[in-house]
Chain A
Amino acid sequence: MQKTFKFKMKKKVDWFNILLVLVILVALIFLVLQNTLFNNVFSITGHATETSTLSNVTIAKYLSIALCTNLSDGILFGDVIELPATDINATHNFDGASTGSTMCVNVSEDANTPIDFCTKANAHLTSVDDDTIGLANETYHNSTETNAGTPGRDTNSTSLTTSYVKSGYAVAAGGLNYYRFWLDVPASQPSGNYNNTVYFKGVTTTLDCN
C-alpha cells in the first residue's frame, strides 16, 4: 500500500514544469521592477522632511509699430523727365514742419521695450516688362528727429538691400524714426513704371535683423 502511494507521488511532481512556472514568475517580477523601481533607482530616498514654497516671476515683453501715413502710402519718386538723374528726392522727404520728413515709423506708447528697426527691399525696382533699376540706386537715411538737414544725404545714407539691415537703434516707446529716400536713375534706363516693396521690421534691441 505504501509503495503504491510513493509511486503516485513521483508521477505527479513534474519538476520541469515547476521550473518553467518559476521562470515565468521571475521574468514578470523583473519586468514590473524594470518599469517601476529600476527606473527610479537613482532617486534620493530617506527619512528627511522638507517644506517648500514657490518662487515665481514672469517677464513679459511687448512692442508695437505703425507706419506714418505718408510712408504707408509708399515711397514715391514722381516722374523723372531727364536722364541721368541723381539724388531724386522721395515726394515726402521735405514736406513736414521745418521742412522735415513726413516718412516715419511710430513706436507705440503701449510697448515696454526699446526697438531696433530693420529695413530691406524685396527686389530691384522692376517694371512690368522686367526692366530693373538696381537696388544700389535706392538709398535712405534715418534719424529719430527731423529737420531740413536730418536725416541727411551724407556718408551715412545707405543703399537698400534684399537682406534686413538695422536702420534705427533703441527707439523708445512713443518715439519716432524718420526716413528719407533718394533714387539715382542711369542714363540708359528704359522708360517705364518701376516698383518694389520696402519692409520695416521692429525687433527688440537684443535681436539681430536676420
Chain B
Amino acid sequence: MMKKKVIKSLKIFSLAFALMLIILPFVSAGVGISWDKETSLIPENTKTCLTYKVYNPWPEDSYVQIELSEELMQIVSYIESEAKFVPKQTSSENAIPVEFCFKTPKIYKEDCLLFNKIICRQDCTEEMKIYEGEVEVLEVGEQDVKGGAGGSATAISVSAPLRIKVQCVAHARNYSVVYILIALIALVLLMINLLKKRKEKK
C-alpha cells in the first residue's frame, strides 16, 4: 500500500517536472532586426531619416537599444536613445519601426570666383564620399551572473549593414549675385538722379 503511494507520488512529481520543462522557456529574451535598405544616396548638406525595424519572435519580452557604428555616428543628427520595449512573439511582419536621422555635411569643393563662396560652379570631379557602418540592436536586459558567482555575464545583439553615399549635385556657375548687384547699383543711381532733378525743379 505504502509502495503504491510512493510510486504514485513519484509519477506525479515526474509529470510536474516534465510540464515545467515544457512551460519554462528554453531560451532567454531575444532580439531581431528587419531592414529593406542597406544603401542610401543623400545629397550633401541634406537631412534625411531612415527606418529599420526591430522584432522579438521569442517567448519573453525584451528591451532593445539602437546603436550606430562610429563612422555613421559622425553624421547622425537624431537617434532614439531610450530602450525600446519589444513584446514577446512580435514577428518580423509586425516589427516595430525605429527611426534615426542623418545630416550629410558639405563635402565637395566648389570652384568659386569670389571669396570662395560667391559665383560658384560644381563639376563633381571628386570621388564620392561613403560613410559605411552598421546598425546594431542590443538587448538591454540584466547582465549579472546568476547566483553572484564569478564568471562572465552574457549579452546579445544583431546588426545590419548601412552605407550612406553623399551625393554631389553638379551645377553651372551662378551669377545671380552679380545681377542683383548691378540692378541695385542702377536703382540707387536712378534714385539719386530723380532726387537731384526734383531739387533742381524747386
Residues of chain A whose beta carbon lies under 8 Å from any beta carbon of chain B:
14, 16-17, 20-21, 23-24, 27-28, 30-31, 34-35, 38-39, 41, 58-69, 71-79, 90, 105-106, 108-112, 121, 125, 138, 181, 192-204, 206-207, 210
Pick from B53, B148, B154, B158: contact of A198, CB under 8 Å: B154
Residues from chain A with a CB closer than 8 A to the CB of B27 are: 66-69, 72, 106
> What are 29 pairs between A and B in contact, CB < 8 Å?
A21-B190, A23-B182, A23-B183, A31-B183, A61-B35, A62-B53, A64-B55, A66-B29, A66-B58, A66-B156, A67-B27, A67-B30, A69-B26, A72-B27, A72-B28, A74-B153, A74-B154, A76-B145, A110-B91, A194-B151, A195-B150, A196-B152, A197-B155, A198-B153, A200-B154, A200-B157, A201-B157, A202-B157, A206-B161
Pick from B36, B58, B156, B179: contact of A59, CB under 8 Å: B36
- Return B13 CB to nearest CB of chain A, in Å: 21
> Is A62 in contact with B55, judged by CB distance below 8 angstroms?
yes
Using CB atoms, name the residue of chain A closest to B182.
A27
Given A58-B36, A201-B157, the answer on whether A110 and B92 have CB atoms closer than 8 Å is: yes
Residues from chain B with a CB closer than 8 A to the CB of A78 are: 149
- Return A9 CB to nearest CB of chain B, in Å: 16
> Is B31 in contact with A30, judged by CB distance below 8 angstroms?
no
> Is A24 in contact with B153, judged by CB distance below 8 angstroms?
no
User: Chain B's interface: helix, strand, loop or mixed, by majority?
Assistant: mixed
| Interface residue? B134 (CB, 8 A) | yes
A28 to B190, CA, bound (A): 16
> Is A60 in contact with B150, judged by CB distance below 8 angstroms?
no
Using CB atoms, name the residue of chain A closest to B189.
A20
A76 to B175, CA, bound (A): 72
Pick from A66, A72, A76, A203: contact of B159, CB under 8 Å: A203
In the complex, chain B residues 150-192 whose Cβ is within 8 Å of any chain A Cβ: 150-161, 171-172, 174-176, 179-180, 182-183, 186-187, 189-190
> Is A200 in contact with B58, judged by CB distance below 8 angstroms?
no
- Return A118 CB to nearest CB of chain B, in Å: 9
Residues from chain A with a CB closer than 8 A to the CB of B174 are: 34
> Is A41 in contact with B151, judged by CB distance below 8 angstroms?
no
Residues from chain B with a CB closer than 8 A to the CB of A71 are: 28, 154
Interface residues of B toward A: which range? 35 or more
> Is B30 in contact with A200, judged by CB distance below 8 angstroms?
no
A102 to B58, CA, bound (A): 18
- Return B171 CB to nearest CB of chain A, in Å: 7
Given A27-B180, A61-B36, the answer on whether A34 and B175 have CB atoms closer than 8 Å is: yes
| Interface residue? B25 (CB, 8 A) | yes
Interface centre among B144, B146, B158, B161 (most CB of A within 10 A): B158
A204 to B159, CA, bound (A): 8
Using CB atoms, name the residue of chain A closest to B24.
A69
- Return A37 CB to nearest CB of chain B, in Å: 11
Using CB atoms, name the residue of chain A closest to B158.
A202
Using CB atoms, name the residue of chain A closest to B171.
A39
A14-B197, A20-B187, A39-B172 known, 7 other contacts, Cβ within 8 Å: A20-B193, A61-B160, A125-B150, A198-B153, A200-B156, A201-B159, A202-B158
Residues from chain A with a CB closer than 8 A to the CB of B155 are: 197-200
> Is A27 in contact with B186, judged by CB distance below 8 angstroms?
yes
In the complex, chain B residues 117-160 whose Cβ is within 8 Å of any chain A Cβ: 133-134, 136, 143-160
| Interface residue? B194 (CB, 8 A) | yes
A63 to B180, CA, bound (A): 57
A204 to B154, CA, bound (A): 21
| Interface residue? B43 (CB, 8 A) | no
> Is A60 in contact with B145, judged by CB distance below 8 angstroms?
no
> Is B33 in contact with A63, judged by CB distance below 8 angstroms?
yes
